[in-house]
Amino acid sequence: MTGFEKKVFEFIDRWGLIKQGEKILVAVSGGKDSMALLHFLVSKKERLGCEICVANMDHGLRDDSGREEAVMIASFCEKHDVPFYHERRDVTQYHKNNRGLSLEEAARIVRYDFLFNAREKLGADKIALAHHLNDLVETMLMRIARGTGLKGVISMKPMNNSIIRPLLSVGVQEILDYVTINMIPYKEDPTNVLEVYDRNFIRMRIVPLFKELNASFEDAIYRFYMNIMESYNIIEEKVRSFISSLETETENGKVQRCFGELDIFLKEQDALVAEVVREIVMRLSEDGYPPSRERIEAFMKLLGKQDRRWTIEFKEDIKSSRLGKYIFFYRGDLFESMKDDVDEVIEKLPVRVSTRFGEIILNYEKGKLELKEKFDGKKVCPCTLKVLKFPLRFRRVKCEDRMIPFGSKKEKEVFKIIKESGMTGFITRIPVLENADGTILWVPGIRAAEQCRVSDSEDGYALFRFERR
Amino acid sequence: MTGFEKKVFEFIDRWGLIKQGEKILVAVSGGKDSMALLHFLVSKKERLGCEICVANMDHGLRDDSGREEAVMIASFCEKHDVPFYHERRDVTQYHKNNRGLSLEEAARIVRYDFLFNAREKLGADKIALAHHLNDLVETMLMRIARGTGLKGVISMKPMNNSIIRPLLSVGVQEILDYVTINMIPYKEDPTNVLEVYDRNFIRMRIVPLFKELNASFEDAIYRFYMNIMESYNIIEEKVRSFISSLETETENGKVQRCFGELDIFLKEQDALVAEVVREIVMRLSEDGYPPSRERIEAFMKLLGKQDRRWTIEFKEDIKSSRLGKYIFFYRGDLFESMKDDVDEVIEKLPVRVSTRFGEIILNYEKGKLELKEKFDGKKVCPCTLKVLKFPLRFRRVKCEDRMIPFGSKKEKEVFKIIKESGMTGFITRIPVLENADGTILWVPGIRAAEQCRVSDSEDGYALFRFERR
């Protein structure tokens, strides 16, 4: 194996880019980078244990020239028996229709849309892009020049979901050598016309100066990149495990709200909490951008205060509030957003209430309470008529709610009872049945209160039923 | 307050650089940076609640010119009633005597030696250096150009032990404005002649190009710096807490050896373990440099293997070994380095053995065993003569040693017993008393073995005593 091949193999192995039996869609423009990637993957597919297919998009930027590349790639694919998918997309038109975007951004969006589309059509698992070490160096310097953080400086990843970049450890010179030695056909990359000014400026003017300081500048940047990747992985893991300890409500895979106890925030180190908050706000937000450093610091200050109730806005419509012992993160208005929740005043029985969790039926029963049904207080809860006072109220659980669980003598937070029941999801949406005197009588599906207990001597009682949706 | 003052105050506050009642030694060269720092600290000392004193070193690099600066600084100090300490040191001579060093390195060593010396003489708590944002930018770019990691890219810290850098958030232009507005005297910095080529190259040629890309380049780098600092703090804390869970032996504050159970390494994520190993090797090594990435990766591979015994060298003389369930890090030879430990063959009683932990006395007692003394098996251990077989042996505990603790029926690892006793320090150095048949009879100060039990019918027994040093 040549040095180039060894390096690429090691990189694929190091980051687990390709797994046995996977089908890899190679994005090929026809330039030397993507042709080298294609040649490498095709010639090593047995060893890698993968299938290869190719997608080429004509940007439609230079009249008819896109056709030349397509013909060249198609002939390469035919020779090596590789499925080839081609499409012409009008980037210029898309750019005209979306004036807020730069031409490069427009091309990027059209290109990714094309690639994900092609991946589906060809039934591929992953998409391989031909970004190499010089691209990485330029991207990192560009990010640093604009101000970034750990996550931003390594935005060009070896693997990002289904996108893989097998050439990230080899430089453009090594690629050129590989292409020359293997007599691989290529055209001057037609997408070069899309190069933005900044990237060109870094490549042509800044990188050469760094190379005067250090002839192995690209290797130095690569070491920096690898070190930062490792560091970032440590933090990412800690952040992930913290966030997974919060209660989160998602809709269509998008985070809507989440909350957790103040204590778990206070126990963790500040820097990690800041990172967690940054990540939560990014997940909550439409654009995926993090809040400003100043907002994070303002949040951290509030967190340390004694005030039991505050709200802070991070950006647009994304806020955090403390309500007693809990910290919430949400979009829009925390209570407004919950108004679809049940809040029903009950003047008499029988009654049937529909909630997002299920149907709740309250009724009177005659005679003595017999233990024919499994009256565990969860799905079926008998309640003595001695305590029942109208109007009852069905409402969302509050932070400050407390009750005496059936069989116990000690009052306990309802939130805690719900949590201990193993209930997952957004527990602040769970309804409770409140007596006219303010006692919580029942948490449907979760627990009855001690006050409900029906004595042996009683003739007749109320029965609450919960039918999960 | 001006923008400059506000920025510096905020920075001092953000990083807790100066605490009430501290005495701050300002390192003043006479250039505008250090004169601005001195002026700021002197004029705000009441508000900061600190005392100020000044140290100036004449590098002896330019004949007599160092005297001019000294006179200027002395007059400033006199006017503001600030203690002033001056010394001339011959950097050129030191450089001649240490040919391995560059002139800049030599100057740096002499300068720090002078400053720590001055700090002691003046009874100061901290040393304030005048590094500013442009220095930070240059240092970071220089590090990146040479290849670095998270720790290296933020090597210029707001606070590093007793060194503080209050001006790190302000640029050279802001300093110039501050000096001009406040009519602060200064000389062109005499240490500028020490500027190395690389730093000058970055300042004069690379930074201006970045500023063409982004006019607020320094602010962008500062944001990057702050983000990286925060990320690094998260990791540093995790690494610190991992290392504190290992058994560590230090001599004169220098780590000599440490070890921990394999399991705690396997349970943690790879990237964090790699960082932990890097940190341990740095602490073990004389020069404080980390091992190469390749060595770390080799270690990680060994860690994942089934082999119960291996050794890997990180650098010079620093190694790691697995011995059964334990991972050791050490300098030189693990066993060689422990040869000062006790290893004594005992042919008959009475006998007295001295160990680094204390005196051990073994003797015969007549009559029946009576419970007058607190025979807890730790400091005093009676042993039946039925099991005692000579030669006994006093030796260092081994990983594979097992014993049945007194009062128990189940054999247990001696390491575990020692750990559970709450013993801290380097537990592999603890001695055990081994019977001729290989049984561990006693771990002095920790636990007796069940086999020692003296029955009521026995007349006469052996008594082992341990007197802690």
Inform me whether the pLDDT recorded for B428 exceeds 70: no
pLDDT, average across residues B159-188: 94
Cβ separation B149–A227 shorter than 8 A:
yes
The long-range contacts involving A329-337, CB below 8 angstroms and separated by at least 24 positions, are A329/A257, A329/A258, A329/A259, A329/A277, A329/A280, A329/A281, A329/A284, A330/A256, A330/A257, A330/A258, A330/A284, A331/A256, A331/A257, A331/A284, A334/A257, A337/A256, A337/A257
> In this structure, are B172 and B254 located in the same domain?
no
Q: Which of A333-342, B71-80, B230-239, B301-310 has the lowest mean pLDDT?
A: A333-342
> In this structure, are A327 and A460 located in the same domain?
no
- According to the model, what pLDDT value does residue B64 have? 64
Residue B297, CA distances (Å) to A158, B274, B300, B393 in order? 18, 8, 5, 41
> In this structure, are A308 and A401 located in the same domain?
no
- Residues B249 and B356 sit within 8 Å (Cβ to Cβ): no
Mutate to test the interface with B, among A154, A228, A234 (most CBs of B within 10 A): A234
Nearest CA in chain A to B213: A198
Which residue from A454, A459, A414 is spatially nearest to A434, judged by alpha carbons?
Answer: A414
* H or E element, residue B463: strand B461-468
> In this structure, are B304 and B208 located in the same domain?
no
Q: How far apart are CA B384 and CA B369, in angstroms?
A: 10
- According to the model, what pLDDT value does residue B180 have? 96
> In this structure, are A209 and A100 located in the same domain?
yes
| CB burial of residue A410 (10 Å; 0-12, 13-18, 19+) | exposed
- According to the model, what pLDDT value does residue A254 have? 79
- According to the model, what pLDDT value does residue B167 have? 97
A354 labeled binding residue: no
The CATH number of whichever domain residue B446 belongs to comes to: 3.50.40.10
Is residue B126 helix, strand or coil? strand
Inform me whether the pLDDT recorded for B194 exceeds 70: no
Nearest CA in chain B to A213: B198
- According to the model, what pLDDT value does residue A353 have? 84
> In this structure, are B351 and B302 located in the same domain?
no
pLDDT, average across residues B158-168: 94
CA distance B248 to chain A (A): 24
Q: Which of A274-278, B339-343, B451-455 has the lowest mean pLDDT?
A: B339-343
Inform me whether the pLDDT recorded for B117 exceeds 60: yes
> In this structure, are B14 and B49 located in the same domain?
yes
- Residues A302 and A295 sit within 8 Å (Cβ to Cβ): no
- Residues A334 and A328 sit within 8 Å (Cβ to Cβ): yes
- pLDDT over 70 percentage in chain A: 93
The CATH number of whichever domain residue B302 belongs to comes to: 3.30.465.60
- Residues A331 and A257 sit within 8 Å (Cβ to Cβ): yes
Q: Supply the range of the domain harboring residue A138.
A: 3-233
Report if residue B408 sits inside a domain.
yes
Report if residue B229 sits inside a domain.
no
Report if residue A443 sits inside a domain.
yes
Q: What is the domain count for chain A?
A: 3
Looking at every residue in chain B, the average pLDDT score rounds to 88
Handedness of CA A311, A314, A316, A320 (dihedral sign): negative
- According to the model, what pLDDT value does residue B309 have? 87
Residue A402, CA distances (Å) to A210, A413, A461, B350, B392 in order? 65, 4, 24, 70, 66
Cβ separation A234–B238 shorter than 8 A:
yes
- According to the model, what pLDDT value does residue B191 have? 59
> In this structure, are A394 and A376 located in the same domain?
yes
> In this structure, are A182 and A286 located in the same domain?
no
pLDDT, average across residues B448-455: 90
Cβ separation A145–B238 shorter than 8 A:
no
Inform me whether the pLDDT recorded for A268 exceeds 70: yes
Handedness of CA B267, B270, B271, B277 (dihedral sign): positive
Q: How confident is the model at residue A12 (pLDDT cuts 50, 70, 90)?
A: very high
The tally of CA atoms less than 13 A away on the side-chain side of residue A111 is: 20
The CATH number of whichever domain residue A133 belongs to comes to: 3.40.50.620
Cβ separation A231–B205 shorter than 8 A:
no
pLDDT, average across residues A80-85: 96
- Residues B157 and B15 sit within 8 Å (Cβ to Cβ): no
Cβ separation B235–A237 shorter than 8 A:
no
Instruction: State which of A48-57, A287-296, A333-342, B331-340 shows the largest mean pLDDT.
Output: A48-57
- According to the model, what pLDDT value does residue B336 have? 58
> In this structure, are A160 and A71 located in the same domain?
yes
- pLDDT tens-place string over residues A419-439: 888 765 566 678 899 999 989
Report if residue B230 sits inside a domain.
no
Inform me whether the pLDDT recorded for A104 exceeds 70: yes
- pLDDT over 90 percentage in chain B: 52
Q: How confident is the model at residue A344 (pLDDT cuts 50, 70, 90)?
A: confident
A339 labeled binding residue: no
DSSP B206: I
Report if residue B235 sits inside a domain.
no
Report if residue B219 sits inside a domain.
no
Identify the domain boundary among B310, B336, B362.
B336
Residues of A in contact with B222 (CB under 8 A): 147
Inform me whether the pLDDT recorded for A51 exceeds 90: yes
Cβ separation A275–B227 shorter than 8 A:
no
Which residue from B291, B135, B130 is spatially nearest to B225, judged by alpha carbons?
Answer: B135
> In this structure, are B292 and B430 located in the same domain?
no
A121 labeled binding residue: no
Q: Which of A339-348, A443-452, B381-390 has the lowest mean pLDDT?
A: A339-348
- According to the model, what pLDDT value does residue B379 have? 86
CA distance B425 to chain A (A): 27
- According to the model, what pLDDT value does residue B68 have? 85
Cβ separation B145–A210 shorter than 8 A:
yes
Identify the domain boundary among A201, A233, A265.
A233
Report if residue A240 sits inside a domain.
no
Inform me whether the pLDDT recorded for B192 exceeds 70: no
Q: How far apart are CA B391 and CA B395, in angstroms?
A: 12
Identify the domain boundary among A278, A304, A336.
A336
Token readout for A266 is 């206070």
- pLDDT tens-place string over residues B356-409: 677 889 999 888 887 655 677 888 899 999 999 999 998 888 878 899 999 889
> In this structure, are B204 and B283 located in the same domain?
no
Residues of A in contact with B220 (CB under 8 A): 144-148
Handedness of CA A268, A274, A277, A282 (dihedral sign): negative
Which residue from A302, A309, A255, A297 is spatially nearest to A279, judged by alpha carbons?
Answer: A255
Known binding-site positions of B: 29-34
Inform me whether the pLDDT recorded for B427 exceeds 70: no
- Residues B396 and B419 sit within 8 Å (Cβ to Cβ): no
Q: Which of A381-385, A388-392, A454-458 has the lowest mean pLDDT?
A: A454-458
Q: How far apart are CA A439 and CA A437, in angstroms?
A: 6
Residue A392, CA distances (Å) to A414, A444, B140, B430 in order? 18, 14, 66, 70
3-state secondary structure chain A: CCHHHHHHHHHHHHCCCCCCCCEEEEECCCCHHHHHHHHHHHHCHHHHCCEEEEEEEECCCCCCHHHHHHHHHHHHHHHCCCCEEEEECCHHHHHHHCCCCCHHHHHHHHHHHHHHHHHHHHCCCEEECCCCHHHHHHHHHHHHHHCCCHHHHCCCCCEECCEECCCCCCCHHHHHHHHHHCCCCCCCCHHHHHCCHHHHHHHHHHHHHHHHHCCCHHHHHHHHHHHHHHHHHHHHHHHHHHHCCCEEEEECCEEEEEEEEHHHHHHCCHHHHHHHHHHHHHHHCCCCCCCCHHHHHHHHHHHCCCCCEEEEEEECCEEEEEECCEEEEEECCCCHHHCCCCEEEECCCCEEEECCCEEEEEEEECCCCCCCCCCCCCCEEEECCCCCCCCEEEEECCCCCEECECCCCCCEEHHHHHHHCCCCCCHHHCEEEECCCCCEEEECCCEEEHHHCCCCCCCCEEEEEEEEC
Report if residue B75 sits inside a domain.
yes
Q: How confident is the model at residue B151 (pLDDT cuts 50, 70, 90)?
A: confident
Interface pTM, i.e. ipTM = 0.73
> Shortest CB distance from B271 goes to which of A146, A149, A233?
A233
Q: How far apart are CA B171 and CA B92, in angstroms?
A: 31
Q: Which of A62-71, A175-184, B12-21, B69-78 has the lowest mean pLDDT?
A: A62-71
CA distance B186 to chain A (A): 32
